[in-house]
Structure 1
Amino acid sequence: MNSDLLAGKVVLITGASSGIGAAAARVFSQEGATVVLAARRVERLAELTGELRAKGAEAAHVACDVTDADDAARAVRFAESEYGRLDGAFNNAGIGGDRTPMHLMSDDVYDTVMDVNVRGVWNCMRPEIAAMLRHGGGAVVNNSSVAGLVAIPAAAPYIAAKHAVIGLTRAAADEYAQQGIRVNAVAPGTTRSEITEDWFRRNPGLEQKVNSMTPQGRTADPEEVAAAAAWLLSDRCPFLTGAVVPVDGGFVNQ
């Protein structure tokens, strides 16, 4: 995959140290973007930044905990200071939480999942949109999940959080539609990442069960989700905003 889909664009990626975020860094840079990688695990970011630069891409990284509003704002300022503007953002950082029945779920799990997956998107979207308003527009893609569209067992905080991400996406899309900013979401199905691999380890047979419910019968590679996000960030879909794009092998059709 090498094209000009994102040529000339400066794109910030949160949760870029692994999984879909790291895949997005590779895919976006292959599509011509200048990428700014943000996550808590700086060592991994530095390694990935070096990998991308070795391939001729323009890339930089910044430490960022999305649950800290000041950290999120600092990451946006870093992108602007390094490259002069911000054209796109992929708000991908998130956690899975425990797979526990609701009546046994602790408040701490609920609070942590909501803090990362919802407040983290909120914390990032505000400075990102402010930067895009300063520079004439842009595009935001938030990473939700098929769990933001349907229910799955024993994951109530995660489901609530991913539904909330879709709500934030639609609210921002409506609010900034006439100011040159598009806001969309991807809703991945089962995708290979540290979160899903952890779930599979702790729940033997879960991957096979989920795959049996997916028309394509398999788990997605993170690059497949990243490719959808790249298209949503590009100028190829200028009339698309407020959309939630399932990247799920047909799961939500069931």
Structure 2
Amino acid sequence: MSTGDTARTAVLVEAQQLAAQIASGDVPVLLDVRWALGRSDGHAQYLAGHLPGAVYVDLETELAAPATPADGRHPLPDVAALEAAARRWGVGAGGSVVAYDAVGGMSAARAWWLLRWAGVRGVRLLDGGLADWLSAGGSLETGEVTPPAGDVVLVPGALATLDADEAAGLASAGVLLDARAGERYRGEVEPVDPRAGHIAGAVSAPTSDNRDADGRFLGAQALRDRFAALGVPGPAPVGVYCGSGVTAAHEVAALASIGVEAALYPGSWSQWSADPDRAVTTGPDPR
């Protein structure tokens, strides 16, 4: 990573850089956001071994409100509840935060996005997550961590969001990226949500293609090339959705790392597909 690439270093931190920061005494709040669709053992994984001092963050209960058909599987949490959770994690006003997971940032990006959305500027993702920390010689500790309470005050709206109507409009008049796997975009499979397919006009841009074979974010030029092929950046605004607003946050982070701002559609496909009045398109073409 080029130290001159300020957009990237504002979003990502490498394991060796994080270890050096910690060794210097500048210890960020470390958030362990281990979660994956269909799994419920994130906390058990955390207890068995996590970065020293890291606090476990429950994506289902702390980074989302309860699921409803009207709002989707992972609605944005109430800001007061998110603030209380962030203070429990030890997040303070003006402090730095690093979020990580064991799936290449796919779940940790939800914490990154929510805190950025709520006005916390000093939040980064550990590039490569737990695997890179271990590869760099980092140690783990076991058991629960209860940090001193933080005093952060959250104010939502620092990052842009879309509702369903705005997402539809962006698909027609801007660039709307569908961050789900290609087979879900095409409507060949739908393992979770009510209907298969995509929003008409949305462009397939799987989140998995933001990463290399080791689960790290692609280099800055590779990301620029990837998104340029999808029409980003360009004169039109950019939005991203996925199944429920989780992995789309990873795509927003990837775009932010090359200096491109993108709005997130939190309800995503889980909300859209549950509304019978919303049209569904299948196949490889946007429309």
| TM surpasses 0.5 | no
Higher share in strand: 1
More helix by share: 1
TM-score of the two chains, using structure 2 as the length reference: 0.25
* Structure-1-length-normalised TM-score: 0.27
Structure number with bigger Rg = 2
Larger relative contact order, structure 1 or 2 (CA cutoff 8 Å, min sep 6): 2
